[in-house]
Structure 1
Amino acid sequence: MNCAVLLFVLLSSSLILAQDDGNAITEKPDETRTCQPDMCDLLMAFGAMKEKIAVMETRLKNSETRLKNSETRLKDSETRLKNSETRLKNSETRLKDSESRLNSSGTRLKDSESRLRNSENQLLEVRNKERTKVIFSAATGEGGQDIGPFNTDKTLIYRRVITNIGYAYSPHTGIFVAPVAGVYYFTIFYHAGGHEQAKLRLYKNSQLMIMTHDHQTEADRADNGGNAAFLQLQPGDQVYVVLAANSHVWGTNYHTTFSGFLVTQM
Protein backbone atom coordinates (compact mmCIF):
# COMPACT_ATOMS: atom_id res chain seq x y z
CA MET A 1 0.00 0.00 0.00
CA ASN A 2 2.87 2.42 0.84
CA CYS A 3 4.56 1.66 -2.50
CA ALA A 4 1.37 2.46 -4.35
CA VAL A 5 1.08 5.83 -2.60
CA LEU A 6 4.74 6.65 -3.41
CA LEU A 7 4.19 5.78 -7.07
CA PHE A 8 1.06 7.94 -7.10
CA VAL A 9 3.07 10.91 -5.79
CA LEU A 10 5.78 10.44 -8.43
CA LEU A 11 3.23 10.26 -11.21
CA SER A 12 1.52 13.39 -9.98
CA SER A 13 4.81 15.27 -9.96
CA SER A 14 5.60 14.11 -13.50
CA LEU A 15 2.17 15.21 -14.68
CA ILE A 16 2.67 18.67 -13.22
CA LEU A 17 6.02 19.01 -14.98
CA ALA A 18 4.48 17.84 -18.23
CA GLN A 19 1.79 20.47 -17.96
CA ASP A 20 4.38 23.17 -17.35
CA ASP A 21 6.22 22.08 -20.50
CA GLY A 22 3.00 22.10 -22.45
CA ASN A 23 2.26 25.67 -21.44
CA ALA A 24 5.54 26.69 -23.09
CA ILE A 25 4.43 25.27 -26.44
CA THR A 26 2.12 27.36 -28.49
CA GLU A 27 -0.90 25.40 -29.45
CA LYS A 28 -2.04 25.62 -33.01
CA PRO A 29 -5.73 25.94 -33.74
CA ASP A 30 -7.53 22.80 -34.97
CA GLU A 31 -4.55 20.60 -34.24
CA THR A 32 -4.60 17.60 -31.85
CA ARG A 33 -2.65 18.07 -28.56
CA THR A 34 0.31 15.75 -28.42
CA CYS A 35 2.58 14.54 -25.61
CA GLN A 36 5.92 12.93 -25.39
CA PRO A 37 5.92 9.13 -25.78
CA ASP A 38 7.45 8.45 -22.35
CA MET A 39 4.99 10.77 -20.71
CA CYS A 40 2.03 9.11 -22.45
CA ASP A 41 3.13 5.66 -21.27
CA LEU A 42 3.59 7.00 -17.80
CA LEU A 43 0.13 8.54 -17.79
CA MET A 44 -1.43 5.29 -19.00
CA ALA A 45 0.39 3.33 -16.35
CA PHE A 46 -0.76 5.87 -13.78
CA GLY A 47 -4.40 5.43 -14.86
CA ALA A 48 -4.16 1.66 -14.64
CA MET A 49 -2.54 1.98 -11.24
CA LYS A 50 -5.38 4.21 -10.03
CA GLU A 51 -7.94 1.63 -11.12
CA LYS A 52 -6.02 -1.14 -9.35
CA ILE A 53 -5.74 1.01 -6.23
CA ALA A 54 -9.50 1.69 -6.33
CA VAL A 55 -10.21 -2.03 -6.69
CA MET A 56 -7.82 -2.82 -3.86
CA GLU A 57 -9.41 -0.17 -1.64
CA THR A 58 -12.87 -1.60 -2.40
CA ARG A 59 -11.68 -5.09 -1.60
CA LEU A 60 -9.98 -3.81 1.52
CA LYS A 61 -13.21 -2.13 2.66
CA ASN A 62 -15.15 -5.29 1.94
CA SER A 63 -12.60 -7.33 3.88
CA GLU A 64 -12.78 -4.92 6.79
CA THR A 65 -16.59 -5.09 6.70
CA ARG A 66 -16.52 -8.88 6.67
CA LEU A 67 -13.95 -8.82 9.46
CA LYS A 68 -16.23 -6.62 11.58
CA ASN A 69 -19.17 -8.91 10.82
CA SER A 70 -17.07 -11.92 11.75
CA GLU A 71 -15.98 -10.24 14.99
CA THR A 72 -19.63 -9.40 15.76
CA ARG A 73 -20.69 -12.97 15.08
CA LEU A 74 -17.78 -14.21 17.17
CA LYS A 75 -18.88 -12.01 20.09
CA ASP A 76 -22.45 -13.27 19.67
CA SER A 77 -21.17 -16.84 19.64
CA GLU A 78 -19.09 -16.22 22.74
CA THR A 79 -22.11 -14.67 24.45
CA ARG A 80 -24.30 -17.62 23.49
CA LEU A 81 -21.57 -19.99 24.66
CA LYS A 82 -21.41 -18.25 28.04
CA ASN A 83 -25.19 -18.39 28.29
CA SER A 84 -25.10 -22.09 27.40
CA GLU A 85 -22.40 -22.73 30.03
CA THR A 86 -24.48 -20.85 32.60
CA ARG A 87 -27.58 -22.86 31.72
CA LEU A 88 -25.51 -26.06 31.87
CA LYS A 89 -24.24 -25.17 35.36
CA ASN A 90 -27.79 -24.38 36.45
CA SER A 91 -28.96 -27.71 35.01
CA GLU A 92 -26.16 -29.55 36.83
CA THR A 93 -27.10 -27.80 40.07
CA ARG A 94 -30.77 -28.72 39.62
CA LEU A 95 -29.71 -32.28 38.77
CA LYS A 96 -27.69 -32.51 41.99
CA ASP A 97 -30.64 -31.12 43.94
CA SER A 98 -32.93 -33.65 42.28
CA GLU A 99 -30.53 -36.50 43.10
CA SER A 100 -30.30 -35.29 46.69
CA ARG A 101 -34.10 -35.13 46.98
CA LEU A 102 -34.32 -38.55 45.34
CA ASN A 103 -31.87 -40.02 47.87
CA SER A 104 -33.80 -38.37 50.68
CA SER A 105 -37.05 -39.74 49.28
CA GLY A 106 -35.50 -43.18 49.04
CA THR A 107 -34.41 -43.01 52.68
CA ARG A 108 -37.85 -41.86 53.78
CA LEU A 109 -39.39 -44.63 51.68
CA LYS A 110 -37.23 -47.24 53.40
CA ASP A 111 -38.17 -45.81 56.80
CA SER A 112 -41.84 -45.86 55.84
CA GLU A 113 -41.56 -49.46 54.61
CA SER A 114 -39.81 -50.44 57.84
CA ARG A 115 -42.48 -48.76 59.95
CA LEU A 116 -45.16 -50.38 57.80
CA ARG A 117 -43.62 -53.83 58.33
CA ASN A 118 -43.42 -53.19 62.07
CA SER A 119 -47.04 -52.08 62.13
CA GLU A 120 -48.09 -55.12 60.12
CA ASN A 121 -46.14 -57.40 62.49
CA GLN A 122 -47.71 -55.75 65.51
CA LEU A 123 -51.15 -56.01 63.93
CA LEU A 124 -50.53 -59.68 63.12
CA GLU A 125 -49.39 -60.27 66.69
CA VAL A 126 -52.52 -58.59 68.04
CA ARG A 127 -54.70 -60.62 65.69
CA ASN A 128 -52.93 -63.81 66.74
CA LYS A 129 -53.53 -62.90 70.35
CA GLU A 130 -57.17 -62.24 69.59
CA ARG A 131 -57.48 -65.57 67.80
CA THR A 132 -55.76 -67.39 70.68
CA LYS A 133 -58.68 -67.82 73.03
CA VAL A 134 -58.34 -70.35 75.84
CA ILE A 135 -61.36 -70.93 78.10
CA PHE A 136 -62.42 -74.11 79.84
CA SER A 137 -64.72 -75.27 82.60
CA ALA A 138 -65.38 -78.87 83.75
CA ALA A 139 -67.13 -80.80 86.54
CA THR A 140 -66.26 -84.15 88.08
CA GLY A 141 -69.41 -85.80 86.71
CA GLU A 142 -69.45 -88.96 88.85
CA GLY A 143 -73.23 -89.30 89.00
CA GLY A 144 -73.76 -88.13 92.58
CA GLN A 145 -71.30 -90.11 94.71
CA ASP A 146 -68.23 -89.55 96.84
CA ILE A 147 -64.83 -89.41 95.16
CA GLY A 148 -62.38 -90.70 97.78
CA PRO A 149 -60.99 -91.02 100.26
CA PHE A 150 -57.84 -92.66 98.88
CA ASN A 151 -54.65 -93.77 100.61
CA THR A 152 -52.51 -91.52 98.37
CA ASP A 153 -52.86 -88.21 96.57
CA LYS A 154 -54.70 -88.55 93.27
CA THR A 155 -55.05 -86.19 90.31
CA LEU A 156 -58.73 -85.31 90.15
CA ILE A 157 -60.21 -85.83 86.70
CA TYR A 158 -63.08 -83.55 85.73
CA ARG A 159 -64.83 -85.68 83.14
CA ARG A 160 -67.84 -83.51 82.28
CA VAL A 161 -66.61 -80.74 79.99
CA ILE A 162 -68.79 -77.64 80.14
CA THR A 163 -66.59 -75.41 77.95
CA ASN A 164 -63.25 -76.12 76.29
CA ILE A 165 -62.36 -73.33 73.83
CA GLY A 166 -58.85 -73.94 72.56
CA TYR A 167 -58.92 -77.56 73.75
CA ALA A 168 -56.14 -76.99 76.29
CA TYR A 169 -57.90 -79.08 78.99
CA SER A 170 -58.06 -82.87 78.74
CA PRO A 171 -61.08 -84.65 80.30
CA HIS A 172 -59.10 -87.89 80.13
CA THR A 173 -56.18 -86.80 82.33
CA GLY A 174 -57.65 -83.81 84.18
CA ILE A 175 -54.61 -81.74 83.16
CA PHE A 176 -54.63 -78.29 81.54
CA VAL A 177 -51.62 -77.63 79.23
CA ALA A 178 -50.86 -73.97 78.40
CA PRO A 179 -50.81 -73.47 74.60
CA VAL A 180 -49.20 -69.99 74.71
CA ALA A 181 -47.23 -67.88 77.16
CA GLY A 182 -49.42 -65.62 79.21
CA VAL A 183 -51.34 -64.97 82.40
CA TYR A 184 -54.19 -67.38 83.18
CA TYR A 185 -56.92 -67.34 85.81
CA PHE A 186 -57.97 -70.60 87.51
CA THR A 187 -60.71 -71.46 89.99
CA ILE A 188 -61.53 -74.64 91.97
CA PHE A 189 -64.76 -75.31 93.88
CA TYR A 190 -65.96 -78.38 95.72
CA HIS A 191 -68.94 -79.80 97.62
CA ALA A 192 -68.44 -82.59 100.17
CA GLY A 193 -70.08 -84.37 103.11
CA GLY A 194 -68.94 -83.65 106.62
CA HIS A 195 -68.07 -87.22 107.55
CA GLU A 196 -64.62 -86.93 105.94
CA GLN A 197 -62.19 -84.02 105.40
CA ALA A 198 -62.14 -82.27 102.02
CA LYS A 199 -58.82 -81.03 100.65
CA LEU A 200 -57.99 -79.94 97.08
CA ARG A 201 -54.63 -78.62 95.89
CA LEU A 202 -53.91 -76.72 92.61
CA TYR A 203 -50.49 -77.43 91.07
CA LYS A 204 -48.44 -75.73 88.37
CA ASN A 205 -46.27 -78.54 87.06
CA SER A 206 -45.09 -80.02 90.41
CA GLN A 207 -45.35 -76.77 92.38
CA LEU A 208 -48.25 -76.24 94.79
CA MET A 209 -49.94 -72.92 94.05
CA ILE A 210 -53.19 -72.79 96.08
CA MET A 211 -55.47 -75.11 98.07
CA THR A 212 -58.90 -75.30 99.70
CA HIS A 213 -59.63 -77.40 102.82
CA ASP A 214 -62.32 -78.26 105.34
CA HIS A 215 -61.99 -80.63 108.33
CA GLN A 216 -64.19 -83.57 109.22
CA THR A 217 -67.09 -82.63 111.49
CA GLU A 218 -70.05 -84.45 113.02
CA ALA A 219 -72.21 -81.33 113.34
CA ASP A 220 -71.82 -80.10 109.75
CA ARG A 221 -73.13 -82.67 107.35
CA ALA A 222 -72.05 -80.78 104.13
CA ASP A 223 -69.02 -78.66 103.28
CA ASN A 224 -68.34 -76.25 100.39
CA GLY A 225 -65.12 -74.46 99.53
CA GLY A 226 -63.07 -72.96 96.76
CA ASN A 227 -60.09 -70.85 95.78
CA ALA A 228 -58.67 -68.98 92.74
CA ALA A 229 -55.35 -67.68 91.40
CA PHE A 230 -53.69 -65.88 88.48
CA LEU A 231 -50.77 -67.94 87.11
CA GLN A 232 -48.12 -66.90 84.64
CA LEU A 233 -47.45 -69.84 82.34
CA GLN A 234 -45.14 -70.76 79.51
CA PRO A 235 -46.19 -73.01 76.62
CA GLY A 236 -46.35 -76.59 77.85
CA ASP A 237 -46.81 -75.75 81.54
CA GLN A 238 -49.34 -78.09 83.22
CA VAL A 239 -52.01 -77.08 85.73
CA TYR A 240 -54.08 -79.71 87.56
CA VAL A 241 -56.00 -80.42 90.80
CA VAL A 242 -54.96 -83.05 93.33
CA LEU A 243 -57.33 -84.68 95.81
CA ALA A 244 -55.27 -85.10 98.96
CA ALA A 245 -54.93 -88.53 100.58
CA ASN A 246 -57.68 -89.44 103.06
CA SER A 247 -60.00 -86.72 101.76
CA HIS A 248 -63.05 -86.73 99.55
CA VAL A 249 -65.36 -84.52 97.42
CA TRP A 250 -68.86 -85.00 96.07
CA GLY A 251 -68.83 -86.01 92.43
CA THR A 252 -71.67 -84.67 90.27
CA ASN A 253 -72.15 -82.83 87.03
CA TYR A 254 -72.63 -79.50 88.85
CA HIS A 255 -70.94 -79.19 92.27
CA THR A 256 -67.19 -79.77 92.10
CA THR A 257 -65.61 -77.80 89.23
CA PHE A 258 -62.29 -76.75 87.73
CA SER A 259 -62.21 -73.70 85.42
CA GLY A 260 -59.69 -71.37 83.79
CA PHE A 261 -59.04 -68.97 80.94
CA LEU A 262 -56.27 -66.97 79.29
CA VAL A 263 -56.26 -63.38 80.53
CA THR A 264 -53.49 -62.00 78.31
CA GLN A 265 -50.56 -63.26 76.28
CA MET A 266 -47.04 -62.30 77.28
Structure 2
Amino acid sequence: MNFTILWFVLLFCGSISAQDDGTATETQLCHPDMCDLIKEFAAMKEKLGAVETRLEDSETRLKNSENQIQELRNNETTKVIFSAATGGGEKHIGPFNTDITLVYRKVITNIGNAYNQFTGIFVAPVAGVYQFSIFYHTGAGPKAMLKLFKNNQLIAMTHHLQPETSGNGGNAVFLQLQQGDQVYVQLAENTRIWGTDYHTTFSGLLVTQM
Protein backbone atom coordinates (compact mmCIF):
# COMPACT_ATOMS: atom_id res chain seq x y z
CA MET A 1 0.00 0.00 0.00
CA ASN A 2 2.90 2.38 0.78
CA PHE A 3 4.25 1.89 -2.74
CA THR A 4 0.80 2.72 -4.26
CA ILE A 5 0.59 5.99 -2.34
CA LEU A 6 4.13 6.90 -3.34
CA TRP A 7 3.27 6.20 -7.00
CA PHE A 8 0.29 8.58 -6.93
CA VAL A 9 2.43 11.22 -5.25
CA LEU A 10 5.04 10.92 -7.99
CA LEU A 11 2.35 11.26 -10.67
CA PHE A 12 1.05 14.37 -9.01
CA CYS A 13 4.53 15.80 -8.64
CA GLY A 14 5.18 15.25 -12.33
CA SER A 15 2.37 17.65 -13.36
CA ILE A 16 3.18 20.82 -15.23
CA SER A 17 2.44 24.24 -13.74
CA ALA A 18 2.77 27.68 -15.34
CA GLN A 19 4.33 30.76 -13.85
CA ASP A 20 1.85 33.52 -12.82
CA ASP A 21 3.54 36.39 -14.76
CA GLY A 22 2.45 34.88 -18.13
CA THR A 23 5.83 35.58 -19.79
CA ALA A 24 7.25 32.07 -19.43
CA THR A 25 6.33 28.63 -18.28
CA GLU A 26 8.50 25.98 -16.74
CA THR A 27 8.03 22.36 -15.90
CA GLN A 28 8.27 21.80 -12.18
CA LEU A 29 9.22 18.31 -11.10
CA CYS A 30 7.14 18.62 -7.95
CA HIS A 31 5.48 21.08 -5.70
CA PRO A 32 7.70 22.05 -2.71
CA ASP A 33 5.27 20.47 -0.25
CA MET A 34 5.22 17.28 -2.28
CA CYS A 35 9.01 17.22 -2.42
CA ASP A 36 9.11 17.39 1.36
CA LEU A 37 6.59 14.58 1.54
CA ILE A 38 8.69 12.42 -0.78
CA LYS A 39 11.74 13.02 1.38
CA GLU A 40 9.76 12.00 4.44
CA PHE A 41 8.62 8.83 2.68
CA ALA A 42 12.21 8.00 1.74
CA ALA A 43 13.42 8.55 5.30
CA MET A 44 10.55 6.46 6.65
CA LYS A 45 11.38 3.65 4.22
CA GLU A 46 15.00 3.68 5.36
CA LYS A 47 13.95 3.54 9.01
CA LEU A 48 11.55 0.68 8.32
CA GLY A 49 14.34 -1.25 6.61
CA ALA A 50 16.56 -0.79 9.66
CA VAL A 51 13.74 -1.93 11.96
CA GLU A 52 13.15 -5.03 9.82
CA THR A 53 16.85 -5.88 10.00
CA ARG A 54 16.85 -5.54 13.78
CA LEU A 55 13.72 -7.70 14.02
CA GLU A 56 15.34 -10.42 11.91
CA ASP A 57 18.43 -10.34 14.15
CA SER A 58 16.23 -10.56 17.25
CA GLU A 59 14.31 -13.51 15.80
CA THR A 60 17.58 -15.31 15.05
CA ARG A 61 18.88 -14.76 18.59
CA LEU A 62 15.55 -15.89 20.05
CA LYS A 63 15.61 -19.06 17.96
CA ASN A 64 19.16 -19.82 19.08
CA SER A 65 18.18 -19.29 22.71
CA GLU A 66 15.18 -21.61 22.33
CA ASN A 67 17.42 -24.31 20.84
CA GLN A 68 19.89 -23.97 23.72
CA ILE A 69 17.10 -24.19 26.29
CA GLN A 70 15.68 -27.29 24.61
CA GLU A 71 19.13 -28.90 24.56
CA LEU A 72 19.55 -28.22 28.28
CA ARG A 73 16.12 -29.70 28.96
CA ASN A 74 17.01 -32.82 26.98
CA ASN A 75 20.22 -33.22 28.95
CA GLU A 76 18.36 -32.81 32.22
CA THR A 77 15.81 -35.48 31.36
CA THR A 78 18.50 -38.14 30.74
CA LYS A 79 19.48 -39.49 34.15
CA VAL A 80 21.36 -42.75 34.55
CA ILE A 81 22.36 -44.08 37.98
CA PHE A 82 22.55 -47.70 39.07
CA SER A 83 23.98 -49.82 41.85
CA ALA A 84 23.57 -53.55 42.39
CA ALA A 85 24.96 -56.33 44.57
CA THR A 86 25.49 -59.99 43.73
CA GLY A 87 22.77 -61.06 46.18
CA GLY A 88 21.68 -64.68 46.49
CA GLY A 89 22.48 -65.14 50.16
CA GLU A 90 25.78 -65.41 51.96
CA LYS A 91 27.84 -67.80 49.86
CA HIS A 92 30.87 -67.89 47.61
CA ILE A 93 30.50 -67.39 43.87
CA GLY A 94 33.07 -69.52 42.04
CA PRO A 95 35.54 -70.82 41.32
CA PHE A 96 34.76 -71.75 37.71
CA ASN A 97 37.04 -73.21 35.03
CA THR A 98 36.48 -70.20 32.74
CA ASP A 99 35.79 -66.48 33.01
CA ILE A 100 32.10 -65.74 33.60
CA THR A 101 30.07 -62.55 33.45
CA LEU A 102 29.09 -61.71 37.02
CA VAL A 103 25.38 -61.08 37.44
CA TYR A 104 24.48 -58.60 40.17
CA ARG A 105 20.92 -59.65 40.95
CA LYS A 106 20.20 -57.46 43.97
CA VAL A 107 19.32 -54.06 42.44
CA ILE A 108 19.80 -51.20 44.88
CA THR A 109 18.89 -48.44 42.44
CA ASN A 110 18.45 -48.36 38.67
CA ILE A 111 17.43 -44.90 37.49
CA GLY A 112 17.10 -45.02 33.72
CA ASN A 113 16.90 -48.85 33.66
CA ALA A 114 20.21 -49.15 31.81
CA TYR A 115 21.44 -52.04 33.97
CA ASN A 116 20.01 -55.53 33.37
CA GLN A 117 19.83 -57.58 36.57
CA PHE A 118 19.32 -60.80 34.60
CA THR A 119 22.42 -60.52 32.39
CA GLY A 120 24.67 -58.33 34.55
CA ILE A 121 25.25 -56.02 31.57
CA PHE A 122 24.94 -52.24 31.53
CA VAL A 123 23.95 -50.74 28.15
CA ALA A 124 24.58 -47.01 27.63
CA PRO A 125 21.27 -45.31 26.69
CA VAL A 126 23.01 -42.14 25.45
CA ALA A 127 26.50 -41.08 24.44
CA GLY A 128 28.47 -39.50 27.27
CA VAL A 129 31.03 -39.91 30.02
CA TYR A 130 30.15 -42.48 32.67
CA GLN A 131 31.72 -43.47 35.98
CA PHE A 132 31.82 -47.12 37.09
CA SER A 133 33.02 -48.78 40.28
CA ILE A 134 33.35 -52.38 41.45
CA PHE A 135 33.93 -53.70 44.95
CA TYR A 136 34.17 -57.21 46.32
CA HIS A 137 34.75 -59.25 49.46
CA THR A 138 36.33 -62.68 49.54
CA GLY A 139 37.05 -65.20 52.26
CA ALA A 140 40.18 -67.25 52.81
CA GLY A 141 40.73 -69.80 50.08
CA PRO A 142 41.08 -69.37 46.30
CA LYS A 143 42.24 -65.97 45.11
CA ALA A 144 39.76 -63.35 43.88
CA MET A 145 39.90 -61.41 40.61
CA LEU A 146 37.32 -59.21 38.88
CA LYS A 147 37.64 -57.63 35.43
CA LEU A 148 35.68 -54.65 34.11
CA PHE A 149 34.97 -54.69 30.36
CA LYS A 150 33.73 -52.15 27.84
CA ASN A 151 32.25 -54.25 25.04
CA ASN A 152 35.03 -56.84 24.62
CA GLN A 153 37.83 -54.56 25.83
CA LEU A 154 39.39 -55.08 29.27
CA ILE A 155 39.37 -51.74 31.08
CA ALA A 156 40.23 -52.37 34.74
CA MET A 157 40.94 -55.15 37.23
CA THR A 158 41.01 -55.78 40.94
CA HIS A 159 42.28 -58.90 42.71
CA HIS A 160 43.27 -60.55 45.98
CA LEU A 161 46.15 -63.01 45.72
CA GLN A 162 46.56 -64.10 49.35
CA PRO A 163 44.31 -67.16 49.73
CA GLU A 164 45.16 -67.66 53.38
CA THR A 165 43.28 -64.51 54.43
CA SER A 166 40.00 -62.85 53.59
CA GLY A 167 40.18 -59.61 51.66
CA ASN A 168 38.43 -56.72 49.99
CA GLY A 169 39.17 -54.85 46.81
CA GLY A 170 37.79 -52.49 44.23
CA ASN A 171 38.43 -50.17 41.33
CA ALA A 172 36.76 -47.24 39.57
CA VAL A 173 37.03 -45.65 36.11
CA PHE A 174 35.56 -42.96 33.89
CA LEU A 175 34.54 -44.18 30.42
CA GLN A 176 33.43 -42.32 27.33
CA LEU A 177 30.65 -44.42 25.82
CA GLN A 178 28.54 -44.31 22.70
CA GLN A 179 24.88 -45.22 22.75
CA GLY A 180 24.57 -49.01 22.91
CA ASP A 181 28.04 -49.68 24.37
CA GLN A 182 28.07 -52.46 26.98
CA VAL A 183 29.87 -52.50 30.33
CA TYR A 184 30.05 -55.59 32.52
CA VAL A 185 32.17 -57.40 35.10
CA GLN A 186 33.73 -60.84 34.76
CA LEU A 187 34.91 -63.18 37.48
CA ALA A 188 38.25 -64.62 36.38
CA GLU A 189 38.63 -68.38 36.03
CA ASN A 190 39.64 -70.31 39.15
CA THR A 191 38.80 -67.38 41.42
CA ARG A 192 35.86 -66.62 43.70
CA ILE A 193 34.18 -63.82 45.61
CA TRP A 194 31.73 -63.62 48.49
CA GLY A 195 28.20 -63.08 47.23
CA THR A 196 25.75 -61.23 49.47
CA ASP A 197 23.34 -58.31 49.31
CA TYR A 198 25.96 -55.99 50.80
CA HIS A 199 29.62 -56.82 50.03
CA THR A 200 30.19 -57.27 46.30
CA THR A 201 28.73 -54.44 44.19
CA PHE A 202 28.73 -52.91 40.72
CA SER A 203 27.74 -49.24 40.30
CA GLY A 204 27.69 -46.59 37.60
CA LEU A 205 26.29 -43.21 36.62
CA LEU A 206 26.12 -40.79 33.72
CA VAL A 207 28.43 -37.87 34.51
CA THR A 208 27.80 -35.77 31.41
CA GLN A 209 25.98 -36.31 28.13
CA MET A 210 27.83 -35.66 24.87
CA distance in 2, matches of 1:131, 1:74: 83
Residue of 62, 69, 81 corresponding to 1:116: 62
Residue 193 of structure 2 corresponds to residue 255 of structure 1: no
Which of 207, 220, 233 is residue 177 of structure 2 equivalent to? Answer: 233
Residue 139 of structure 2, aligned match among 190, 193, 197: 193
Aligned partner of 2:183: which letter? V
1:242 aligns with 2:186: yes
Task: State which of 120, 130, 138 in structure 2 corresponds to 1:184.
Answer: 130
Give, as a single letter, the amino acid of the residue that structure 1 aligns with 2:66: E
Q: Structure 1 residue 216: deviation in Å?
A: 3.7
Query: How far did 1:112 drift?
Result: 1.1
Distance in 2 between the 1:113 and 1:252 partners? Answer: 60
Structure 1: stretches of 5+ with no match in the other structure: 1-72, 76-80
Greater share of strand: 2
Report what 1:25 is aligned to: none
* Alpha-carbon distance in structure 2 between the residues aligned to 1:101 and 1:180: 49
Distance 1:214 1:98 in 2: 84
Q: List, as ranges, runs of 4+ consecutive aligned residues in structure 1 with deviation greater than 4 Å.
A: none
| Structure number with bigger Rg | 1
| 1:191-215 deviation digits (Å, cap 9, x = unpaired) | 0112011100111111111110111
Q: Choose 99-108 or 174-183, whichever is displaced more.
A: 99-108
The answer to whether residue 93 in structure 2 is matched with residue 147 in structure 1 is: yes
**How well do the aligned residues superpose, as a CA RMSD in angstroms?**
1.9
1:101 and 2:31 equivalent? Answer: no
Which residue number corresponds to residue 102 of structure 2? Answer: 156
Point out which structure has higher relative CO (alpha carbons under 8 A, 6+ apart): 2
Determine the structure 1 residue equivalent to 2:3. Answer: none
Q: Which amino acid aligns with 1:128?
A: N
- Aligned residue pairs, count: 188
| Inter-partner Cα distance in structure 2 for 1:207 and 1:85 | 88
Structure 1 or 2: more helix by fraction: 1
- Counterparts in 2 of 1:42-61, with a 5 A limit? none
CA distance in 2, matches of 1:156, 1:145: 14
CA distance in 2, matches of 1:93, 1:177: 70
Structure 2 length-normalised TM: 0.84
Report deviation, 1:108: 1.5
Tell me the distance in 1 between the aligned counterparts of 2:37 and 2:114: 70
How many Å apart are 1:247 and its aligned residue? 0.8
Deviation at 1:117, TM superposition (A): 1.0
Please name the residue that 1:175 is paired with: 121
Within 2, Cα distance between the matches of 1:101 and 1:177?
58
Residue by residue over 1:138-190, the C-alpha shift from the partner in whole angstroms, topping out at 9 and shown as x without a partner, is: 00002111111111111100001000001111101111111111111110000
2:154 paired residue among 202, 205, 208:
208
Map of 2:6 onto structure 1: none
Q: Which residue of 2 aligns with 1:87?
A: 33
Picking from 154, 157, 167, the partner of 1:223 is 167
Residue of structure 2 equivalent to 1:138: 84
* Structure 2: distance between partners of 1:168 and 1:91: 72
TM-score (norm 1): 0.67
| Equivalent position amino acid for 2:62 in 1 | L
* Matched residue SS, 1:74: coil
